[in-house]
Structure 1
Amino acid sequence: MARSIAFTKGHGTGNDFVIVPDADGTLDLSDDQVAALCDRRFGVGGDGILRVVRSSAIAEGDATPDAEWFMDYRNADGSAAEMCGNGIRVYAKYLVEAGLADIDAAPLRIGTRAGTKTLTRSEPGLGATPGFEVDLGLFAIDESDIVVRARNLDVPRPGVSIDLGNPHVVVALGADAELDALDLTVRPQLHPEPRHGANIEFVVPGDPLVRDGVGAIRMRVFERGVGETLSCGTGVAASALAVRHWAGAAAPDVWTVEVPGGTLGVRVVEERDGSHVLLSGPATLVYSGEVALA
């Protein structure tokens, strides 16, 4: 007889997840079971799974002892991922709504494979969108030559690599029409191909690029292990960082990024250990239920 498990469906700007509570770490989901749960025709449907597990129940290699909860994020194909900027806000929303954390008493720390991330509530304001804001931490920009080919893109374009604990390649396009014409049902090709793959973002600057000290861009993304999604939180941050890098010293530290699923905010702030990038945006829990494991 098939085992049934509890789940909650949630999303952040259309980037959707199957949230599976497993506080004591007793649930061992295979790649095939994750893929079945994320299947939009035969399962619950989602871009990935968020397993809600205590850090103390995580294998030593991924353990984050400075956080009570660990976000075990798996892509829709079952593969493990280091981080998910939309997912961690949805994860925080679940913890708060379930009474497992009190983000109003103190910033909420959540463990990930990219280290511990800190979240607070966010209110509308300069570069912020309402919901939750996560400090994604330090970032690295690699200007090594990488060429991106995509269907309906007339010629290959150069990309810049951004490391946010997970890998990204960001490509600049010149017009909205180019962005809208992309066919991302097929994975873009990267040359050279990064060893562990990458999320691939295509961005178009706003017109004007900066207004009242806030930069604005549009973005579409092909997520590693998933395909095109309506949003990608770390991809949004990577896109803003790439355009900020290209724009030079006068570029703002505050950005809004429009994705097919909505709008997210990005801020760059200086901390003792260097520049951190912060991502803000909504998180929604849609419904809960039980589902039989494949």
Structure 2
Amino acid sequence: MPELHFTKGHGTGNDFVLFADPDGEVNLSPVQLAAIADRHFGVGGDGVIRAVRSANLEAGAAVLDEDDAAEWFMDYHNADGSPAEMCGNGIRVYARFLIENGLVELDGGGTLAIGTRGGVRDVQRNASGFQVDLGRWSLSGGEPLVRAKNLQVARPGLGIEVGNPHVVVALSTDEELDSADLTFIPVLEPEAPNGANVEFVVPADPLVKDGIGRIRMRVHERGSGETLSCGTGAAAAALATRYWAGDGAPNQWRVEVPGGTLGVRMWAAEDGEHVSLSGPADLVFEGDLTI
């Protein structure tokens, strides 16, 4: 049986199993990917990331058409083996994995273009670790009602697209946020056609301090369950809170998640408003796994 050399990494507790397959020769099934991510019988993680050159993957053709500098593709799958468009924490950990394994170089002022199913994303180093430009965002998915276990009534959500689909729900207190049982999948009415990550958010008091917005968040990730952090979810939560706060709300946000703190920033670009995510990326151990 083939052996797979892997690395375990995480970004604010959102953890991943990574392995290098530059030539695209290791094609694991959803069942095998889910077995690797299993926390009891496998390595354990919120997702599995394969490092493959864009030229050696069918999905990489569109990436190279968009930006021929995107040599590497982040082939990301959720813990249940299903593919995902993007992962904000995962792409920072992926960048560190590529650097530490000598596959790319990224100096302090450089930019690394990485291909994803959601398009090309640019990564840079910063003081907290890495920053990724998540690109343009949009309001999408309407305002579905969201039901979650231990929340007494359904709450309105706000659909936001950040390369992958999110629904953000505002709660009033920390106690309410802590009471939600996210081991159960939140129910959306109407359902999202392709599912969605669901974020529950509580604003800090005061909401803005020193020009930076502050929120606390928990998340149920599509295909993975509750995770300690979700990078694109943090961006979606900050965007939703700014939208609700109205004119004068800041473009910089500090998002507290169970696994740590993430930074979110919005700015105007030629093709529309972009949103970026910054935070740490850590590699914690390596090993060999028989598939």
TM-score range, shorter chain: over 0.9
Q: CA deviation at 1:142?
A: 3.3
* Local SS of the residue matching 2:142: coil
Unaligned 5+ segments in structure 2 are none
2:162 corresponding residue in structure 1: 164
2:57 corresponding residue in structure 1: 58
CA contact 1:55–1:63 (8 Å) conserved in 2: no
CA contact 2:34–2:79 (8 Å) conserved in 1: yes
Q: How does 1:19-98 map to 2 (within 5 A)?
A: 19-60=18-59, 63-65=62-64, 66=68, 67-98=70-101
Unaligned 5+ segments in structure 1 are 124-129
TM-score by length of 1: 0.95
CA contact 2:14–2:230 (8 Å) conserved in 1: yes
TM-score by length of 2: 0.96
1:115 corresponding residue in structure 2: 119
Separation in 1, partners of 2:96, 2:205: 34
Q: CA deviation at 1:122?
A: 1.2
* Local SS of the residue matching 2:86: coil
Separation in 1, partners of 2:59, 2:88: 23
Q: CA deviation at 1:89?
A: 0.1
1:292 corresponding residue in structure 2: 290
2:15 corresponding residue in structure 1: 16
2:274 corresponding residue in structure 1: 276
Provide the aligned length of Structure 1 versus Structure 2.
286
CA contact 2:167–2:197 (8 Å) conserved in 1: yes
2:227 corresponding residue in structure 1: 229
Q: Deviations over 1:201-227 (max 9, x none)?
A: 000001110011000000000000010
* Local SS of the residue matching 2:236: helix
* Local SS of the residue matching 2:63: coil
Separation in 2, partners of 1:220, 1:62: 35
* Local SS of the residue matching 2:156: strand
Separation in 2, partners of 1:64, 1:289: 30
2:145 corresponding residue in structure 1: 147
Q: CA deviation at 1:106?
A: 2.2
Q: Using a 3 Å threshold, how does the CA distance of structure 1 residues 143 and 60 change in structure 2: closer, same or farther? A: closer
Q: Deviations over 1:116-171 (max 9, x none)?
A: 00010111xxxxxx000000000001373310000010110000000011000000
What letter corresponds to residue 55 of structure 1 in structure 2?
S
Separation in 2, partners of 1:122, 1:61: 27
2:103 corresponding residue in structure 1: 100
